[in-house]
A = this chain, B = another copy of it.
Amino acid sequence: MSIKVSIDASGGDYGIPTTIVAGIKALGAFLDLHLVFVGDQSSIQAELDKHPHAKKYAKRFSVTHASETIAMHESPSIALRKKKDSSMRVAINLVKDGTTDACVSAGNTGALMAISRFVLKTIKGIDRPAIMGRMPTMGGHIHMLDLGANVDSKPEALLEFAIMGAIAVKYTENITSPTVGLLNIGEEEMKGNDKIKKTSELLKASNLNYVGFIEGNDIYKGTVDLVVCDGFEGNIALKASEGVASMMGHYLKRAFTKNIFTKLIALIATPVLKDFKSSLDPGKYNGASLLGLRGIVVKSHGSANADSFFQAIKEAYLEVQVKITEKIATQVSLELKQNHE
């Protein structure tokens, strides 16, 4: 059985040159993968013509024309209402009508969420989809959700996030019973608010492998397999982390470029610094999942290069392979039944 993925080829900061290269790489890596590149047909064709490998895979990809693109800072509601022939919308429509099994886009997150929700709808029992991403840790990586799709999530919504996330981690990472932690703050007396306490009670009562509260620094220790939080805190934690990483990179570079001597030392240390950088390469973790939809949608970072956009395609491929949507739907209906018994 083949795995079919539609690519929003025009999405992201770099668009077609990047997404096509990544697509060709994915076709080389996964022999049962079929791709549909969606965007301006002639631009896509021109890009494909540049790559000698493309011909080799000609039977495993097609191009679907879309006359519009959604800008990175366009309002999601306008994108949803006015741009019915955008590359993003058409790529998602292909999932809806069964032409493809999943969609990957590096476009505007808000628009991707709004259009996916509108076109695909949510799984029965799921109120709102959530964005789950991989976070690097000292020993590898873990998953975290929600990273910014939902603010003011109620305890019941946070429980839904945990159920969906645990299923996704279980099947894409092959972890039988992923440990789940709830993001909270550490001061004893003031430990969290009523919402977080109620969520913790719901998680304790569930069938999840819930281990309790974790703090912000635990994310990067890899204390748990899955971190659950509201999208407001999740997005702030993610962005603050990106900020610290940039700042440290800035200071490291500054220290090594201060004068002629430090520059010489930098030359000698180049392999070590490269090794350091590769262990933290954010591209390795590219590909956030929009969980809870009746279809697989993977969001790539807007500034992804071809290698990291490839990771997002790989994520979509894996999710199709393990039938993540069906798995989540089954688990959610089970939990709903239990709650009604």
Task: Please give the residue numbers on chain A whose beta carbons come within 8 Å of chain B beta carbons, in ascending order.
Answer: 73-77, 108-111, 113-114, 136-138, 148-152, 183, 185-190, 192-193, 215-221, 229, 231-233, 235-248, 250-252, 254-256, 258, 262, 265-266, 268-269, 271-273, 275-276, 279-280
Contacts and interface: CB of A to CB of B under 8 A. Distances in A.
A187 B254 contact: no
A148 B185 CA distance: 7
23 contacts: A76-B188, A110-B188, A111-B189, A137-B247, A148-B186, A149-B187, A149-B190, A186-B239, A187-B235, A216-B235, A216-B238, A216-B241, A216-B242, A220-B244, A241-B241, A247-B280, A251-B280, A254-B279, A256-B276, A265-B269, A265-B272, A269-B269, A269-B272
B239 A217 contact: yes
Contact of A235 (B110, B186, B231): B186
A220 B236 CA distance: 13
Contact of A244 (B113, B189, B245): B245
A183 B236 contact: yes
A187 B233 contact: no
Contacts of A262: 271-272, 275
Nearest to A252: B276
Nearest to A276: B255
Given A76-B188, A189-B110, A216-B235, A243 B241 contact: yes
Contact of A188 (B75, B185, B266): B75
B216 A243 contact: yes
A243 B272 contact: no
A185 B262 CA distance: 38
A33 to B, nearest CB: 30
A193 B269 contact: no
Contacts of A190: 110, 113, 148-151, 231
Given A138-B247, A185-B232, 15 more contacts: A108-B188, A110-B190, A113-B187, A138-B246, A187-B235, A190-B231, A215-B235, A216-B237, A216-B240, A216-B241, A220-B240, A241-B243, A241-B244, A255-B272, A255-B273
